[in-house]
Structure 1
Amino acid sequence: MKVKYKSNSIKKIIIINLLIICVNIISKGEDNGNKNLDIKNEKHPIEKNIQEKQEKLEVKVENKKSNKFQEVNQKQSNMELYLKHSSKIKDSIEIIYYIVFSSIALITYLSAKRTIFLPLKSEVYKYQIEELEKLYRYLVTNELISGLEANCYMNIAKIIEDYIVTKKWSNHLIDNVEFDKKIGSAIIFDEYKEDEIMFLKSEEKNKKNEIINWQEYKIKRIIISKKFEIEEEKIESFISSPFLPTTLLEKIKELDAEIKNINYSLKEYLTELLEEIPLKVKKDDDMKENLDMFYSILLEEINLEGKISIKRTEIQKIIRRYLNSDSIFIK
């Protein structure tokens, strides 16, 4: 019995050991199988490098695609921005265009002014100098004062002649025909314009307007000599000249106004002499001497030289300043 029991236990032990061995073998087989699978799954280094390169290449491709997509989006956004502000850009370009070409035109004009227009400017300056010379010489010659003196002389002569006619004396002072030839025009005062007093055919006019009483004698007109009219035309030609500077023209106009005022004021001076004529003019007197006497009195009263010389001196100073005459010879 003891022998059987031992044999059974041995068998159990053997069976258990076999089972353990089988389990170990199986586990080893699985381990080996896993190792084989790992070996199989494990790639060659070259293949691994190729795979890595392919992966990197794919990443680069994706990055490029992404960058291109971003670039396209950026361009689209830029285009939209450009289109949005295109009108402003166009306006700015137009402004720049006009500024540039205006500047070019201005520079061209200034250049032409210094070159092309220079001969024209020189020609104008030449005419200015000639006109200033004429004016200066005219003022120096005293021809204007001579014309005014002729007006005074003819008016006082006419009054004395009218007085002689009133007295019916035979020693006449003037020859009416020759006297009329020297008359240019007349200033007829408003209250006497209806008389239609003319200075041609003086004999007929004297008959029509025969003076009976010297106390009733009135000065109805101021005789303007042809000599003065010539000088007045010269003054007017200077006033209308386009070559004289404005400041000088203003002074010439003032001179012209002063001349007209002198002619109009003759009536007042002559009226004062009307009372002196009966006291100083006698029948047997030399009428020419009487004329010279009253003529001197009239010139002294009017003071032509004093009134004209002031305006004349002002004009001469402006001419000298314009020509810079005083500093030409200063070193």
Structure 2
Amino acid sequence: MNPSIASEATVLEIVSTGVQIAFWCLVGTLSLLTYLHAKRTVFQPLKTEVFKLQLTSLTRISEELHGKGEWELLQNFDLDNATHVNSWRILDQYARVVLRAESDLDVQLNALHLPDDDTSRKANGLIRDTQIKPNWKPFDASATHPESHRAQFTEMSGVLIPSQHSEFIMKLEALSADPLVPSAVTESLAELVRRARVNLVHIREVSREIAPELHDKYPTVEHINSATVSWIHNRWNSSREEMQPAAEKVLSIIRQYYEPDLIGFANRRKIGRTRSRGERAADRKSRRKRVSG
């Protein structure tokens, strides 16, 4: 083959390869630039809408817990009321087993339930009123010797669960089940719910603790008829888990997640000075990073 012809073919091959490489580099560059442009123009509105929906979900959670101290949280979960009623049930079961006395406690509790046609919620133990005062009467002649039955009562059986307690827990669990809620918020809400459930059944542990004391406090039916349950409630209250720290943790995580000092109005209106252009630019950059990230 003529050397000049071979040389020309080699040059053409090199040029063709170079053109192909340049073409694909150009295609890759254009694709990258198109993606970056779309990320700023097409994807950002979508992320902004997701951000708004997420903000709505977290606002609903915050509204349920914001500004509530220990007492308000106990009321939301109906724990104070439930403990009051279950304290009377401790005394009632003790009276039945040890003193062989029966009361009208069940009648009073049934009067506080929903109508009979709402059996599903009635079974959960709907309690709306704590003004309960049972009246015990002996039903067994052996009640004159309660010492023989003393060992038979060791703890309360079962715990009445108010429907308000169950409903508030289900409400919080439904809010935390939202896929837009960050996992850290979901986990902290789960801890709050756990404490509420543990505190409710803790009254049974209290009944086990005070069982040996009941015989000394209420040796006869006459003594138990003059009883109050405030001391049982106080025993429960002094040994239960606190609710407020768990609620505050939920709110703290929500505040950290959105950094309100950056995205809200706190930094836009500093008392006594005007924010610099650099500070405003830094805030805008931070917001763009959070929305696009």
- TM-score where L is the length of structure 1: 0.56
1:216 matched to 2:146: no
SS of corresponding position for 2:192? helix
CA contact (8 A) 1:269 1:298 kept: yes
Provide the residue aligned with 1:78 in structure 2. Answer: 8
CA contact (8 A) 1:251 1:311 kept: yes
1:226 aligned to which of 163, 173, 176: 163
- Identify if the C-alpha distance between structure 1 residues 226 and 214 changes in structure 2 by more than 3 Å, giving closer, same or farther: farther
CA contact (8 A) 2:95 2:101 kept: yes
Q: Which amino acid aligns with 2:110?
A: V
- How large is the RMSD of aligned CA atoms in angstroms? 3.7
SS of corresponding position for 2:215? helix
1:317 aligned to which of 230, 252, 256: 252
Range with greater deviation from structure 2 (142-151 or 85-94): 85-94
1:138-153 map, 5 Å: 139=68, 142=71, 144-146=73-75, 147-153=78-84
- 1:274, 1:95 → 2: CA distance? 83
Range with greater deviation from structure 2 (241-250 or 135-144): 135-144
- 2:226, 2:106 → 1: CA distance? 9
Q: Which amino acid aligns with 2:93?
A: D
CA contact (8 A) 1:155 1:223 kept: yes
Provide the residue aligned with 1:294 in structure 2. Answer: 232
Q: Which amino acid aligns with 1:177?
A: N
The answer to which structure, 1 or 2, has the higher relative contact order (CA under 8 A, 6+ apart) is 2
- Identify if the C-alpha distance between structure 1 residues 183 and 145 changes in structure 2 by more than 3 Å, giving closer, same or farther: farther
TM-superposed CA distance for 1:94, in Å, is 2.6
1:274 matched to 2:211: yes
TM-superposed CA distance for 1:142, in Å, is 4.8
Provide the residue aligned with 1:136 in structure 2. Answer: 65
Q: How many residues align?
A: 230
- Identify if the C-alpha distance between structure 1 residues 123 and 316 changes in structure 2 by more than 3 Å, giving closer, same or farther: closer
CA deviation vs aligned residue, 1:301-327 (integer Å, no higher than 9, x gap): 32x5xx112222223333444333794
1:251 aligned to which of 188, 198, 204: 188
CA contact (8 A) 2:87 2:233 kept: yes
Q: Report % sequence identity.
A: 12
Structure 2 regions of 5+ residues with no counterpart?
115-121, 126-147, 272-293
- 2:52, 2:90 → 1: CA distance? 52
CA contact (8 A) 1:251 1:314 kept: yes
CA contact (8 A) 1:320 1:326 kept: no
When Rg is computed on C-alpha atoms for both structures, the one with the higher figure is 1
CA contact (8 A) 1:258 1:308 kept: yes
CA deviation vs aligned residue, 1:218-268 (integer Å, no higher than 9, x gap): 444333222211221122123213343333333222222333333454432
Provide the residue aligned with 1:159 in structure 2. Answer: 90
- 2:83, 2:222 → 1: CA distance? 24
Q: Which amino acid aligns with 2:245?
A: I
SS of corresponding position for 1:275? helix
- 1:184, 1:290 → 2: CA distance? 25
Provide the residue aligned with 2:56 in structure 1. Answer: 127
